Amino acid sequence: MTVDRDGMENLPAALDLAAFERTSSGLFRPVGALPDWLRLDHDTPPEIDLAERFPLLEFFLSDCASVFETGTPARLESDVWEEDEPDGSRRHLQVTALKLGSRSLAILRSLPRERFTYQQLYHDYQLAEEEARQLKQVAERATQAKSEFLATMSHEIRTPLNAIIGMADVLSSSPLTPDQQRCVEVFQRNGISLLNLINDILDLSKVESGKVELETVSMDLRDVISRALEVIDGRAKAKGLALKQCIAPEIPVYLIGDPNRLRQVIINLLGNAIKFTDQGYLEVRVEQDPEGAGPASLRVAVSDTGIGIPEEKLSLVFESFTQADSSTTRNYGGTGLGLTISRQLVELMGGRIWVESQVGRGSTFFFTVKLGVDENPSARTLPEPAQLSTADLERKTSGLRILLADDSEDNRFLILSYLNQANCSIEIAGDGRECVDKFRAGRFDVVLMDVEMPVMDGYSATREIRRYEQEIGICATPVLALTAHAFADMADKSREAGFTTHLTKPIRKTTLLRALAPYSSLSPSASGPSAVSLADQPTQDEPSPDETNDTLLVRVERGMEDVVPAYLDKRRKDVQTYRQALATQDFDTLRMLGHKLKGTGTGYGFPILTEIGGAIEQAALRKDAGSIAAGVDRLAWYTEKVKLDYAQ
Ligand code: ADP
């Protein structure tokens, strides 16, 4: 656009404008005649200082420097301001800064007064509001239509797609020529990536349309992370990548939040990490957010030793459908939506997400979330990992390095028999002191810690272990308390001591295996199919002993044939010890014997012994010799009468 200088000289008067051209000294030279309303003190001066004449323009004029200094046409408009007129009325003024060709102009206008009556303003405001309301309605209808369309589309596409993928799976396990096999693999691969894309789009649209409601339930953070790691466990093994997890010991065990959404974000990040990493390791690290408030503000870091992201792409990867490199889809697949969804979910959970990376060295994605602390986890049972059969659980826990601290030989024996098929390596400690010493000397994936032990109890031993870990700067090893007490009584104490979770005696075999399973994905030697495929299998409950059997015929579980007769034998012999203690009113010994019987009975298949033990323990606490004697009689009678049948 060009302006004819001469034509311009005549414009201001015709349009009732005051036009100025900026000179090299930063002052303004009038262009053409100036209107009266400008009320300059003397006749048209060669140059005027606009900022001095209109002090309200000072800031605007300094902003104008950017307009005046550009080489291209540019325009900037000031706010409207008012000036008093001699007749008491008010004039509304506005200035526009223009860069036209090489000319820097300031055009001052007096605006028509009627436009600025308050009625007019109010009317304009109402119009604008109505317009906004209608726009919002249109937008809402559009979003709703989009969501409905996506939901329908996703259903319509997913149903046949599932059939295609399913049939491809069936076909791939039938005898095929190598060429046919390759064709089927193409179906499978593309079918699955299409399914992922649909799921991602659906997820994103749900978050965008505000349809995602976060749950606020009690959760075990360790369980959330272990389950996320389980999902990529198979792929990590196939690529030879180590998986690491580290949760700072000061993070409370039980938190309140949305475990599924949290896990989804971690899985997204781990999924990327494994995709872009060919050697080294992946790590999930959780610490308290240094900028957050309280122990439940977390900062999670998912790191890898993969290809990394160039610096100029770091801020782009969180945008929808954006990949760091245009060849990414070709080489690694993906849709460019995973991080967008993760960012939305993290923001929904009150946090933020960012990435640090170095090309060729790896990336670390950080995110923060604000969760609550579950102060009263008494109603909690153990985390329920995917419903696996005993055999699956045994396979999963295979290879775990366990340190078991228990002073009761029977208990130790019981745990060892439970883990007999699981192929774990187990080191034994007879008391808390020995446990701490062995912990310092060895490397363990998990510690099973009895709470009541001589020399040093489980609480003190766990505290020492936590102190030691902090001292040498290693991550907290899971320590599972073995206790005959209800958790409600010991929640605070155990949390304070640093236990990861607890198992209440009597402990069943599947309970123990389930409790150990989440830690197995961290053990490099652990093997077995990934949790994704296992998760679909139904539970096979272990055979439960017949608790009310009148004939006292007890079915002994497979693998327990050797240990059960010896256990019963010992209990028969204990009867004498009980009677001696009763005679000398040694209630401490009686309580201890009862406590141990309670802890082991069910594990060996005799819930009745657990019940008798509990009754003796309680009676000993009350120093109620009559009830103790009745309990001991029941014990003697039961251990004499019980007949064993062996499960095949
Ligand atoms: P995609 O489905 O493509 O993985 P994302 O939104 O999850 O979509 O990631 C966007 C892009 O960010 C990826 O395509 C990749 O270029 C880059 N990226 C994400 N995570 C990593 C990582 N751990 N290492 C290297 N590049 C990554």
pLDDT tens digits for 78-115? 888 888 888 877 888 888 888 877 788 888 888 766 55
Q: How high does pLDDT run on average in the chain? A: 78
pLDDT value at residue 292: 81
**308 CA closest ligand 1 atom index:** 25
pLDDT category of residue 433 using cuts at 50, 70 and 90 = very high
pLDDT value at residue 545: 34
Which residue out of 235, 339, 353, 363 has the highest number of ligand 1 atoms within 8 Å of its CB and is therefore the one to mutate?
339
pLDDT category of residue 542 using cuts at 50, 70 and 90 = very low
pTM of the model: 0.46
CA 304 from chain centre, in angstroms, equals 17
Residue 69 has pLDDT above 60, yes or no: yes
pLDDT value at residue 512: 86
Which residue's alpha carbon is nearest to atom 13 within ligand 1? Answer: 323
3-state secondary structure of 49: coil
pLDDT value at residue 121: 67
Tell me the CA end-to-end span of the chain in Å, nearest whole number.
96
Bridge-based pairing of strands 281-288 and 297-304 is antiparallel
Residue 616 has pLDDT above 50, yes or no: yes
Q: How far is the CA of 332 from the centre of ligand 1 (A)?
A: 9
Q: pLDDT > 70: what percent of the chain?
A: 81
Ligand 1, CB cutoff 6 Å, lining residues:
272-273, 276, 304, 306-309, 317, 323-325, 328, 334-340, 363
Quick check: 452 and 458 in contact, CB under 8 A?
Answer: yes
pLDDT value at residue 529: 28
Condensed to tens digits (0 to 9), the pLDDT of residues 567-614 reads 888 888 888 889 888 888 888 899 989 988 988 888 888 878 888 898
Quick check: 446 and 411 in contact, CB under 8 A?
Answer: no
Which residue's alpha carbon is nearest to atom 14 within ligand 1? Answer: 323
pLDDT value at residue 526: 34
Quick check: 54 and 39 in contact, CB under 8 A?
Answer: no
**318 CA closest ligand 1 atom index:** 6
**304 CA closest ligand 1 atom index:** 23
More confident residue, 153 or 589: 589
Comparing 109-118, 378-387, 549-558, 559-568, the range with the smallest average pLDDT is 378-387
Condensed to tens digits (0 to 9), the pLDDT of residues 377-428 reads 543 444 444 456 777 788 878 888 899 999 888 888 888 888 888 878 899 9
pLDDT value at residue 384: 46
pLDDT category of residue 320 using cuts at 50, 70 and 90 = low
More confident residue, 298 or 292: 298
- Residue reference for tokens 């139904």: 538
Comparing 8-17, 306-315, 625-634, the range with the smallest average pLDDT is 8-17
pLDDT value at residue 297: 92
Quick check: 275 and 236 in contact, CB under 8 A?
Answer: no
pLDDT value at residue 195: 79
Q: Is the dihedral of CA 603, 606, 611, 612 positive or negative?
A: negative
